Amino acid sequence: MDRISWDQYFMAQSHLLALRSTCTRLMVGATIVRDKRIIAGGYNGSVSGSTHCVDDGCYVIDGHCVRTVHAEANALLQCAKFGVPTDGADIYVTHFPCLQCCKQLIQSGIQTVFYAEDYHNHEYAIELFEEAGVKTKKVELEYLAVDTKYQEKLELVEKLFTELESPGSKADINELKSEAERLFSN
């Protein structure tokens, strides 16, 4: 039996962390690793004790949810809070970091950013990573199937059965089919 690679192991951890996200716009997880040991993890969510997007909707200004602390920042802040140095560490993130997170990762001494999915990869972030000597490497999660849309799928299937069971149903089959294709495709 082949063992899971380190990159897949740490990326799976980040996908697992993303399931704790409280932002409905995008679920992101981040795992900071040094010497093949996890030193911190984070997910995007509201400030501790504050209202969460899942409870009250996203607070969007200029196209960005300002209610959430990003996964990378939460992981870095966890290290700062508990006195764990990040210099020379790596980070595994479910999505390419935004520009602000890019700058924070550089300043904290992260040496390699592994990411699973491209997400509005900002040209300046890419330039800053290169300038700072921070390597970026795309590592798509292959080994494990982590379904971040399981709740949406369950709700759709329940809605589908309810619609089909109701007498004289006028369910828009094409709309339901389109939604199912979106949720069940890779």
Write out the chain's pLDDT in tens, 186 residues: 578 899 999 999 999 999 999 998 899 999 999 999 999 999 999 999 999 999 999 999 998 889 999 999 999 999 999 999 999 999 999 999 999 999 999 999 999 999 999 999 999 999 999 999 999 999 988 866 656 677 787 787 788 778 777 777 766 777 777 777 777 775
H/E run at residue 68 = strand 68-69
Tokens representing residue 24 in the block = 């409905």
SS3 at position 47: coil
pLDDT at 1: 58
Residue at token pair 């001494």: 109
pLDDT at 139: 95
Distance of alpha carbon 152 from alpha carbon 180, whole angstroms: 10
Residue 58 near residue 21, CB atoms below 8 Å: no
Residue 104 near residue 76, CB atoms below 8 Å: yes
What's the one-letter identity of residue 63? G
**Long-range contacts for 121-124 (Cβ within 8 Å, ≥24 apart)?**
121/96, 122/98, 124/99
Say whether 152 is catalytic: no
SS3 at position 14: helix
Cross-strand pairs, 114: 92, 137
Distance of alpha carbon 107 from alpha carbon 134, whole angstroms: 11
- Give the model confidence (pLDDT) of 136-150 as tens digits: 999 988 866 656 677
Please tell me the pTM assigned to this model: 0.78
Distance of alpha carbon 40 from alpha carbon 97, whole angstroms: 17
Tokens representing residue 95 in the block = 């999505």
Cβ neighbours of 123 (radius 10 Å)? 8
